Structure 1
Amino acid sequence: MTASTVSPASSTPSKAGLLAVICFTGVLTASCTAHPPGSVGQGRALNGGLQSTGRIGTEHAQIGEVFWAALPLPNNTSKEPVSIRKARFTEVPKGLKISEYRVFNTEETGGVYLLAYSGGKYGTKDPEKLTNYADKPIRVKGKQESDYYYAAKVTVTGPVHKDLGGCSFWYTQSGEEYKQTLPCQTTIRLGKPLPDN
């Protein structure tokens, strides 16, 4: 069985058709995940670890409070290194507003601040005073977990009935651009305030 794609304007196969033929016949399997130049492919190199399997959050938020919500710590499950240039929550519910993203180092925060109050309430370091590494891509070697993680500055503006989610990462690997969305769920709900001590 053979496959071919012919451009209607000429008798030469199109690039997309040629790639399909090569992938179909198995001649060059490494190129089967390639995408057209200038486009962003569907990434599969990252894993979000435990943070992608559960839900974090608080049910004691107050209107006007500001939190730093972490996106999953990137784990590169592939053999090739990746350079992550940005990460974002793509599902932001009514009642929450994101004003900026930063990149923190796990050594400075003593792990990942999954959901931290701005100002350093309740014994955590103030995320506002930590070094922000967002000015350059995060490079993660193959088969390794990153030492850096993205976090969003989230202000509570009203009642919240849905969760932050859709943790998307944009990265480069082997000269190709990719976007990958990892499972994540951060719950912020209004409720009785926590005691200050």
Structure 2
Amino acid sequence: MYQYPDMTKSLGDFKLRVEEGNFTDSEIVVMLGENGTGKTTFIRMLAGLTKADSEAQVPTLNVSYKPQKISPTFDGTVRQLLHKRIRDTYLHPQFMSDVTKPMMIEQLLDEDVKHLSGGELQRVALVMALGKPADIYLIDEPSAYLDSDQRIVAAKVIKRYILHAKKTAFIVEHDFIMATYLADRVRELSRL
């Protein structure tokens, strides 16, 4: 079991207060709440990308983080990107059958990353996030830019991967159906 401490973060007039909590392997914690309640800030604090106001120490874990906003900056094809960032994983037969194939990445392999649509980019980003070996997966809005069929596939892929790999995921999600399918536990954030 892993624990994180009480944490606060002030951003202008906004103040996020997170109570101490814990999580275990093979668990998906879905973060729900209105826009501006601190969901993204919380997972960025878990990732070590945003520092809490206090000296609270988040446990040092190997993290894979998929941000909410994805900016395609890689010069090259999807194949080159996957080969450069997650080569060993993306070529593994189990990963190909459990993640790459259902996410329909093979049809994008020769596409230029900078010319992908929002949904295509989201699918590639999810594959890259799951392909990075980690203790904890922090996935911010996996359903963004995906149509309803792709959302169902993405939810199944994420859930299967996290459970089979015996890892933990914190997922920020606004799609209630996807959140309900994914969640082993829900943390709801609200404004103070």
Larger radius of gyration, structure 1 or 2? 1
TM normalised by structure 1 equals 0.21
TM normalised by structure 2 equals 0.21
Name the structure where strand makes up a greater proportion of residues.
Answer: 1
Name the structure where helix makes up a greater proportion of residues.
Answer: 2
